[in-house]
Amino acid sequence: MYRVRSQIGPTLSALLLLAMPARAQIAASHVYHNHMPNFWAYYDLSKYASTPTGGAIRYMYDAQVINLKKNPPSNYTYYLPSGAPMPHDDLVTYYSHNAKTGAYLYWPQSVAADMKANAPTGQVHVTMSGSVVNNVQDLSTLRNVPGYDNANWGASWKDRYSTLFTPAGNRTLDLIHFTGHHSMGPLVGPEYFLKDLIYQSATLAQPYFLGGSFQSSKGFFPTELGFSERLIPTLAKLGVQWAVIGDNHFSRTLKDYPYLNEPGSDTLVSPPNRADLQNTSSVGSWVSVPMAHEQQVIKNKYPFASTPHWVRYVDPSTGTESRVVGIPVNQNGSWLEGWEGEATVDVVNLKSFEGLVPQKQFFVIAHDGDNSSGRAGSDSTWYNGRSVTCSGGVQCLGISEYLVNHTPATTDVVHVQDGSWVDTRDSSSDPQWHHWKLPFGIWKGQFPAFNAATGLNLAPKTNLSGVQEGMTVSLEHGWHYLERNFALLQAALNHAKTAEQIWLDAHPNHWSPTTAQDKQLTHLGNQLNPWMMSFPVKGDEGNDWAGGANPAELAWYFLLPAMDSGFGYYDENQDDNVKPTLSFNQSLYFSKPYVQARITQDKTGPSVWWAQRWPYNPGSANTDKSEGWTLHFFNNHFALYTYAYDVSGISSIKARVRVHTNKSIDPLDNTHKVYDPAARKAAGVPNIDPSRVGAWVDYPLTRRDLKPVMNGVSWQPAYLPVMAKVPAQEIGDLYYVYLGDYRDQLLDYYIEATDNRGNVTRGEIQSVYVGSGRYNLVGGKYIEDANGTVQGTHPFLVVDTTPPSVPSGLSAPSRTDRSVTLNWSASTDNVAVSGYDIFRDGTQVGASTSTGYTDSGLTPGTAYSYTVRARDAAGNASARSTVLSVATLPPDTTAPSVPTGLTASGATSSSVALAWTASTDNYGVAGYEVFRDGGTQVASVTGTAYSDTGLAPSTSYSYTVRAKDAAGNTSAHSAALAVTTPAGNSATVYYSNKDFATPYIHFRAGSGAWTTVPGYVMASSEVAGYVKYTVNLGAATQLECVFNDGKGTWDNNKGTNYILSTGTSTVKDGIVTRGAPTNDPPPPSDPSGTRVTFNVTASTVMGQNIYLVGNHAALGNWNTDSALLLSSASYPKWSVTLSLPGSTALEYKYIKKDGAGNVTWESGANRATTTPASGSATLNDTWK
């Protein structure tokens, strides 16, 4: 059944139908935005296990990060290539600026008092992001930045918030809704957006800020002023009534938009897509105003763009409508005030539009309140919001206060375009959000490196004027770190969502809001605990995480800091591109094991990023960052793509497209907003006419596996060193389809994905007008025309599809009984031939980059047929050549001649270089076998030289060589050559490790090259329990070595390697002694006891060791000073073997002790065991 979800509370609802008269006086209001990220949301995951139940689990706030950088712990691994600890940010400088201390500690409260005293109807709307609130609390606690020395800093906020009210009862100091970690709701998706809004409210309600005084605001400020109608249902869920939106995103939806043929003239970006041109305004006029101190010119139609309107969202499945009031923000005035400290309605001459519509004009300014650039972060700018803006007949009127008497009429419903505020040229409010994401592509300057890495020979496209584009989009070959973040997000997000679903399914009464404050934070119904999701404590894992945060709550807690938009905004910095990865990895630490252990309970559909379209205007004019600011007039081809991930795997994913019967949309029409118009019409949803749209057409998406490029690509080397420091663990794949079937048509589309368990995700429906892709050149400008004579540029990277010519002249100039040598004439190609494939009897047997190939290993006296085909670097292959039939010669029974002239061309203390004269053979010599001291073959080589290594110094050796052919015939041995190695150094190593069945030694002499992993097997020695190996050092005087079991388990002396001198050394239990070991006497028997081996797997930092302590005298009677040291020879496994009385019940624990005597106990209850009556026992434990 159809219903409307209202966004206006009882006070405003009663006024919806009132027809308010026009008011000449313009209203004005301000929104100030304060935020600092959690610059490095680092948590030492190794501490989680040892944290007691009820202990706080927190990533680092910024004051802690300052201390971390000053004194990184020994187990800290995140360092820049320069060696400096991450993050690169100078947080002390950041926070010391007057713009920060003033905006966070003093100005908003003082300006609210000034507003109350001098303009009581005004409100000071402020965002204090959750991250900045927690950072300021951290700074005020640790006091490591000047200016933050008041532990009670939040008291003045709480006082003004709780005591100052407008005549209509609205708060003068209005802390409006915001995403707590500065995430952009349109980009991160509804689940992430909702959780970050809840986190924000939970933070504002902390005792050190607003505490119990906190109440949910009626308003919402979107991060970067970035709004989309997709946000509305989430805002509705939390009772939000209004949202601020950039004024040009209203104007760019008007049907009389006059700049379609002037691409780039409006804020330097592409004209709006014609699917967005839905609204009408018959009064007022268009105004073009340059931005202060910037290149953009902003174009708006007033008073349409200076009066609030309803904006709405319709659920595509149910047809349920949600609404908020869209409050236009004056982009010109906001930028001007941020730079120069003041702005008035005169910036766009609003007074000339008074009285044209019943709705009162509203001049709303929104900008940073803490920006240290320009004048935004200045107390005078804050005060000027009243004293300057509200002058000359302009009334200060808070937004909530405005809506008491000026709510738009219920029929005043408009469509708004996606987009953000107008900032620098790089952030020009384009509806594709290219300041924070860019499709995979190749920048113009990257093509040489790209071609070198891929073997392709590609170049940027040129536009119709012959200008090479700045960036070329290629979903198959391109890469960009910004959209990588959104691909990574899908993986971490799907794990968090699935963990949440599994947990709530198993706990149908887990948590729902019960107290008055709970209900200010979140929506009704069973859900994750917002307090635990925002400020988690350790739960008892053995008791279903009782008393603390469950894995889903921890996963969300660590995930939310990832997508701070600043990490994309300041992308030129050194490590911002891995700050999201840090949070993704920490979130996966908690979600992934929980989900994988319960994977059969997965009922969550794939996480699918909202469908991306490129180019923005198919078949029409485009110019924005994704083209490298190059003006393009494209043909009618376009791509739909997304990034998607599912914990159970994705079985199918497709784009669905349908065509409108008309070429424009009415803003009140619901037909195009629902998946099944006929069904929704039958259910009573109004404004639906199924005849307006056709049937859905399905297009399967192609998958690009992003795992190989998850942590960068070789042709963008600048990112690789830092990404290697914080490598990502999971990533969603890229799915895409290219479409060229539509021209001069209005379409709807969405993406649908199904996982391997049948769970389905259907994306949001979007609309696009596909232009004709044809143009005429009129007056020096390309004008779109369905009958035009100029074909538009193809939008995507054009890869070579032309195969080389067929190879010719295939012949066999030589053959033996077991081989055939082939030659052919070179092929030609439009780019270049990269190689040839050789086929024998229809099966490929080889490849060659030249025009020759020898096929060997054949059967004597046998006929074969051969063909060859050519290929190019793009993978295009020619047809196969004409068949060549050829037979091998009869079997070869003749041995090669005996090698002669064996000489030693050089000798060292550990090697001899041999050379000899080539033998001859009736079919050809295949190789030579080298023998040392009569009968030991030491090598088989194809040439006439060999260097024998690993020899002993001052030792005589005898060498012979014999030749062999392909048939296996061998000559007699050559005359023997005697050689004596000169004197040199050697090192003999005895090694004992009972955990290595077959020990290997991996080494280098002095500073020379290392052996190939795993090294050399160590031979048994004359001493029981030991193996040994002798290394000839030559002139070197030390041996650097490590040991392993040949299967990946290493003994590397805790990461420092073993350094041994010449002569004989013994290595056992991590201890090096000079000389050979002796046979140990057998241990004395204990007729009344048993031998128990304690093994524990535990990680330590430098200087720490693992000890055993327990309730028996042999275990130290719980005295840590008497605890028993375990051996680290098989680190991270630590071991000790003890003689203990039989049939005895024991309790014990492991502890860590460092050189200073500091003791760390493992968590949980005491371990317990009972020794056997006799014999032995082994306990295998893991540190907890």
Cα separation, 72 vs 84, whole angstroms: 10
Report CA 865 to chain centroid distance, whole Å: 52
Cα separation, 827 vs 636, whole angstroms: 36
Same domain, 850 and 880: yes
Find tokens 């605990």 and name the residue.
529
Cα separation, 958 vs 951, whole angstroms: 12
Cβ within 8 Å of residue 78, ≥6 positions away: 42, 85, 86, 582, 725, 726
Same domain, 997 and 943: no
CA dihedral 1075, 1079, 1081, 1083 (to 10 degrees): 90
Same domain, 597 and 638: no
Longest dimension (CA), the chain: 117
- 886 backbone dihedrals φ, ψ, rounded to 5°: -155, 145
CB 269 within 8 A of CB 280: no
Mean pLDDT calculated for residue range 222-237: 97
Task: Give the CA radius of gyration of the chain.
Answer: 37
395 occurs within a structural domain: yes
471 occurs within a structural domain: no
Proportion of the chain above pLDDT 90, given as a percent: 73
Tell me the torsion sign for CA atoms 1016, 1020, 1022, 1026.
Answer: positive
pLDDT for res 76: 97
pLDDT for res 951: 81
Find tokens 């007074």 and name the residue.
351
Cα separation, 915 vs 944, whole angstroms: 6
Distances (CA, A) of 279 to 119, 229, 287, 924: 35, 15, 17, 85
Residue that is last in its domain, among 824, 858, 887? 887
Report CA 827 to chain centroid distance, whole Å: 44
Range among 962-976, 1095-1109, 1136-1150 with highest mean pLDDT value? 962-976
Domain of 1152, in residue numbers: 1089-1182
Mean pLDDT calculated for residue range 89-109: 96
Same domain, 815 and 767: no
Report the b/e string of 223-244 with b at 16+ CB within 10 A: bbbbbbbbbbbbbbbbbbbbbb
Residue that is last in its domain, among 945, 980, 1015? 980
Q: Is 748 a catalytic residue?
A: no
Tokens of residue 443, six digits: 């920048």
Find tokens 């190794």 and name the residue.
46
Cα separation, 68 vs 54, whole angstroms: 24
Q: In this predicted model, what pLDDT tens digit does every residue of 534-559 receive, in sequence order?
A: 999 999 999 999 999 999 999 999 99
The CATH number for 102's domain is 3.20.110.20
DSSP H or E stretch at residue 1035: none
The domain total for the chain is: 7
Least confident piece of the model among 328-337, 622-631, 1086-1095: 1086-1095
422 occurs within a structural domain: no
Least confident piece of the model among 9-13, 659-663, 888-892, 1156-1160: 9-13
Q: In this predicted model, what pLDDT tens digit does every residue of 1031-1075 receive, in sequence order?
A: 888 888 899 999 999 888 999 998 889 999 888 899 998 888 888
CB 655 within 8 A of CB 611: yes
Cα separation, 651 vs 703, whole angstroms: 11
Say how many CA atoms lie within 13 Å of 752 toward its Cβ.
Answer: 16
**From 89, 138, 224, 418, active-site residue:** 224
Same domain, 1110 and 1169: yes
Q: Name the pairing type of β-strands 1038-1044 and 1019-1020.
A: unpaired
Cα separation, 146 vs 155, whole angstroms: 19
**From 368, 627, 764, 929, active-site residue:** 368
Categorize the per-residue pLDDT at 1087 as very low, low, confident or very high, splitting at 50, 70 and 90: very low
Same domain, 351 and 394: yes
Cα separation, 302 vs 284, whole angstroms: 6
pLDDT for res 17: 29
1155 occurs within a structural domain: yes
Same domain, 1110 and 1018: no
Same domain, 405 and 550: no
344 occurs within a structural domain: yes
Categorize the per-residue pLDDT at 415 as very low, low, confident or very high, splitting at 50, 70 and 90: very high
78 occurs within a structural domain: no
Tokens of residue 680, six digits: 């929704």
CB 152 within 8 A of CB 57: no
Cα separation, 181 vs 633, whole angstroms: 39
CB 927 within 8 A of CB 942: yes
Cα separation, 474 vs 443, whole angstroms: 11
Q: Is 224 a catalytic residue?
A: yes
253 occurs within a structural domain: no
Same domain, 599 and 621: no
Same domain, 134 and 185: yes
Cα separation, 417 vs 266, whole angstroms: 14
Mean pLDDT calculated for residue range 890-905: 92
CB 1044 within 8 A of CB 1050: yes
In angstroms, the first-to-last Cα distance of the chain is: 54
Same domain, 957 and 1002: no
The CATH number for 1002's domain is 2.60.40.10
439 occurs within a structural domain: no
Q: Which residue has the higher pLDDT, 772 or 1037?
A: 772
DSSP 3-state of 612 = strand
Instruction: Identify whether 804 is preceded by a cis peptide bond (ω within 30 of 0).
Output: no
Q: In this predicted model, what pLDDT tens digit does every residue of 671-692 receive, in sequence order?
A: 999 999 999 999 999 999 999 9
Same domain, 968 and 992: no
Please choose, from the candidates 743, 766, 742, 763, the residue with its C-alpha nearest in 3D space to the C-alpha of residue 754: 763
Distances (CA, A) of 35 to 101, 152, 377, 1118: 12, 20, 12, 51
DSSP H or E stretch at residue 485: helix 481-506
Q: What is the DSSP string of 633-648?
A: EB-S-EEEEEEEE-TT
Indicate the pTM of the whole model.
0.71
Cα separation, 462 vs 469, whole angstroms: 6
Report CA 195 to chain centroid distance, whole Å: 19
Residue that is last in its domain, among 414, 441, 457? 414
